[in-house]
Amino acid sequence: MFEHNFRENHLNRTACSGSVEVICGSMFSGKTEELILRLRRAQFAHQNVEIFKPAMEIRYAEKSIVSHDMNEIPCTPVEHSGNILLLSAYIDVIGIDEAQFFDDGLPTVCNQLANQGIRVIIAGLDMDFKGKPFGPMPALCSIADDITKVHAICIECGRLAMFSNRLVSDEKLVLLGEKEKYQPLCRNCFNRKNS
């Protein structure tokens, strides 16, 4: 009886309310902070929330999303975007951090979840260290109902930064790191350093 009522209430609450929200920008721009804020608001409203990140992302914690300011919220690490579908029964809101590290199936997964009435909130780097579109982020932006572009402050000149400049000599696309490996730069400073 309880499970039936729970399922019925869940279906009533989520009918026609699915959406895809993308929070994107450079490193140190507050993407994860904004994601955590939106997820906490949903939890405060007694919505059923599930949070995911790529299993490879273990910089601060294995089973939490952690911002650079050390705010955190528990999450489930997954190896593949398809795992999110398997773990999303009876959920109102899904949060996904570090979306750029997921496989190219993530936009399809997010579309499917939104079409089922789930609010999907995604945070990720929109560009890699070379200033090129990163992973599934361009496709996620194209299917998003709402996009929030956040900016850091350029470490060189103080303007708004939108690039994540790599400080170490390594050509691997994925190189986890913090301030010792990356710095936020504006377009002019990024182009000057990389010309």
| Residue 66: per-residue pLDDT | 74
Other CB atoms within 10 Å distance of the CB of residue 153: 15
DSSP lists the bridge partners of residue 160 as 153
Question: Would you say residue 158 lies in a domain?
Answer: no
Q: Which domain range does residue 30 map to? A: 2-151
**Which token pair is 119?**
């609010």
The verdict on residue 156 lying in a domain is no
Residue at 160 is within a domain: no
Q: Is residue 173 part of a domain?
A: no
Taking 50 as the threshold, does the pLDDT of residue 118 lie above it? Answer: yes
pLDDT in tens, 137-152: 999 999 999 999 999 9
Query: Would you say 55 and 82 are in contact if contact means Cβ atoms under 8 Å apart?
Result: no
In a domain? residue 178: no
Which amino acid is it at 114? A
CA distance 171 to 142: 28
Instruction: Classify residue 190: in a domain, yes or no.
Output: no
Question: To which H or E segment does residue 185 belong?
Answer: strand 182-185
Report if residue 86 sits inside a domain.
Answer: yes
pLDDT at 14: 45
Phi, psi of 11 (to 5 degrees): -65, -40
Residue linked to tokens 């010792």: 180
User: Who wins on pLDDT, 185 or 66?
Assistant: 185
> Is 128 contained in some domain?
yes
Which CATH number is 60's domain given?
Answer: 3.40.50.300
The total number of structural domains in the chain stands at: 1
Distance of CA 72 to the CA centre of its chain: 14
- Token pair of 136, please? 């599934």
- Average pLDDT value over all residues in the chain: 87
Residue 153 or 58, more confident: 153
Annotated active-site positions, please? 98
pLDDT of residue 37: 94
